[in-house]
Amino acid sequence: MATTQTLSHVYPIDGRLNARGRLEIGGCDVLELADRFGTPAYVVSEDDLRARARAFIAAFEAAGQDDFRVVFASKAFGATAVMRVFAQEGLDCDVASAGELHLALRAGFSPASLVFHGNARDDGEFQLALDAGVGLIAVDGFDDIDRLERLVKGRSERQALLLRVTPGVRGDTHDKISTGQADSKFGVSIGDAPAAIERLRASRGLELRGLHMHIGSNLFSVGPFRAAIAALAALGDFAVYDVGGGLGAAYTAQQEPPAIEDFVGEIVSAARELLGSGKRLMIEPGRALVANAGVTLYRVISVKHNVSTWVAVDGGMSDNLRPMLYGAGYEADVADRFGGTTRVQLAGKHCESGDVIIKDVLLDDPRVGDVIVVPVTGAYGYSMANNYNAVPRPPVIFCRDGEARVVVRRETLDDLHARDL
């Protein structure tokens, strides 16, 4: 009798193994997707995206926080289709460059719902943000204040701002994505914050609404958030506090990040206790909204035995830089034979020995032509994809209720020289 196995929590909420033991996402059989759309491909459960957006909103409501904003950090998955889903769900959007600003507007976010971040934005980027009417600009330092003061001269309306403060708190995460420590390229130090606040309060064209922090990414504990909020509390009383993003995601079955509800609940109670009630609380999740919604499909190109068993697939560091950049761990399975006991190195196709997607993974006797699925590629996969070795970037395919739709097409060989003059 056929049984339906359940998948580990790293897969999208509507991921399942069907009666034939094949992975389905959003009711779509991924082997059929691989045949129809080719590989590699990013496959995304649209319902998963929506469910996590709703979970953030419900968590604030459950915590009794009336005034809140959930802001999608669009850098995590900057495809307009993904951004559009979150705009429809009523989220705001964090943009960190002219490009992300452009995409957010194109995806349907109202200018007022945008928060503009960055540690090195030039006049042109600020001008675009001002002209678009972005709701909040996060000021990252004194040079930003100089620039903005100059650019807002003569405007009738004051531009609303947050001041990004570096709270001097280190979260437990990879060095490359830790931002809250005292010596950071982001934000104004706790020591300099009072002077920045004073300057902004005296400004005619700029209106300081509150403080911002972002202590790091892929965090599994709330403790550092509490410590950082305490550091902000010492800087005075503000109407708005934006605690940034950072909630981690489970990349492997052993990992258990805090549930969205618990995480938000603890932030709300820390904020109430340390900042007082009646504040607007903002949070900027990226990874926690998109990571587990996405999987990548690859096709096995070669299997060889050189000390290790090397299973090489048709993608790699061009569609997922995270193993290379952070030594990030992932799981994988043969899409129609989950589990297995063959220990392999899952290698990419690029001309670097470091292009290994997973150094040690058990698969079910992988063979040339098999479809391999790597879950939890929804965050920072698409958005950090590149054309190394002139490999065209994969498409993004949304799946929902058994329907698949391509929301970003695969790059073509001609796209690769489309900008050459």
Residues catalogued as catalytic = 351
In the complex, minimum distance from the CB of residue 78 to ligand LLP, in angstroms, rounded to a whole number: 12
In the complex, minimum distance from the CB of residue 362 to ligand LLP, in angstroms, rounded to a whole number: 25
- The residues in 370-409 that bind ligand LLP, with binding defined as CB under 6 A, are 380
**52 is an interface residue for ligand LLP by CB under 6 A:** no
For 135, the token pair is 């709701």
**Do β-strands 159-166 and 188-189 pair in parallel, antiparallel, or remain unpaired?**
parallel
In the complex, minimum distance from the CB of residue 77 to ligand LLP, in angstroms, rounded to a whole number: 9
Q: Which is nearer to ligand LLP, 116 or 298 (CB)?
A: 116
Q: Which is nearer to ligand LLP, 187 or 366 (CB)?
A: 187
Binding to ligand LLP by CB under 6 A, coded x per residue (else -) over 255-294, reads -----------------------------xxxxx------
Q: Are 296 and 373 in contact (CB under 8 A)?
A: yes
Q: Cα angle at 279 between 273 and 280, to 5 degrees?
A: 125
For 100, the token pair is 């992300």
Q: Is 90 left (phi over 0), alpha (psi -120 to 50) or beta?
A: left
In the complex, minimum distance from the CB of residue 327 to ligand LLP, in angstroms, rounded to a whole number: 11
List of E strands, 167-237 = 188-189, 206-212
In the complex, minimum distance from the CB of residue 229 to ligand LLP, in angstroms, rounded to a whole number: 15
Tokens 């082997």 correspond to 31
For 411, the token pair is 């790059």
Q: Are 65 and 45 in contact (CB under 8 A)?
A: no
DSSP at 419: T
Q: Are 382 and 396 in contact (CB under 8 A)?
A: yes
Q: Are 167 and 190 in contact (CB under 8 A)?
A: yes
What residues does 23 pair with on adjacent strands? 17
DSSP at 33: H
Binding to ligand LLP by CB under 6 A, coded x per residue (else -) over 158-177, reads -------------------x
Of the candidates 207, 236, 101, the one whose C-alpha atom is nearest the C-alpha of residue 145 is 207
Q: Which is nearer to ligand LLP, 135 or 286 (CB)?
A: 286
- Helix 123-132, helix 142-152: angle, nearest 10: 50
In the complex, minimum distance from the CB of residue 73 to ligand LLP, in angstroms, rounded to a whole number: 3
- The residues in 211-240 that bind ligand LLP, with binding defined as CB under 6 A, are 214, 217-218
Q: Which 3-state string (H, E, C) describes 275-334?
A: HCCCCEEEECCCHHHHHHHEEEEEEEEEEEEECEEEEEECCCCCCCCHHHHHCCCCCCEE
- The residues in 91-110 that bind ligand LLP, with binding defined as CB under 6 A, are 94
- Stretch of 148-156, 243-251, 309-317, 392-400 lying at the interface with ligand LLP (CB under 6 A): 243-251
In the complex, minimum distance from the CB of residue 135 to ligand LLP, in angstroms, rounded to a whole number: 15
Q: Which is nearer to ligand LLP, 94 or 336 (CB)?
A: 94
Q: Among residues 117, 299, 349, 350, which is the contact residue for ligand LLP, using CB under 6 A?
A: 117
Q: Which is nearer to ligand LLP, 35 or 256 (CB)?
A: 256
Tokens 């001002």 correspond to 130
Q: Which is nearer to ligand LLP, 39 or 218 (CB)?
A: 218
Q: Among residues 76, 136, 228, 373, which is the contact residue for ligand LLP, using CB under 6 A?
A: 76
d(CA 219, CA 173): 6
- Stretch of 47-55, 72-80, 229-237, 406-414 lying at the interface with ligand LLP (CB under 6 A): 72-80
Q: Which is nearer to ligand LLP, 225 or 398 (CB)?
A: 225
Q: Are 190 and 165 in contact (CB under 8 A)?
A: yes
Tell me the number of residues near ligand LLP by CB under 6 A.
21
Q: Among residues 244, 294, 366, 395, which is the contact residue for ligand LLP, using CB under 6 A?
A: 244
Interacting residue ranges for ligand LLP, rule: CB under 6 A = 73, 75-76, 94, 117, 177, 214, 217-218, 244-247, 284-288, 322, 326, 380
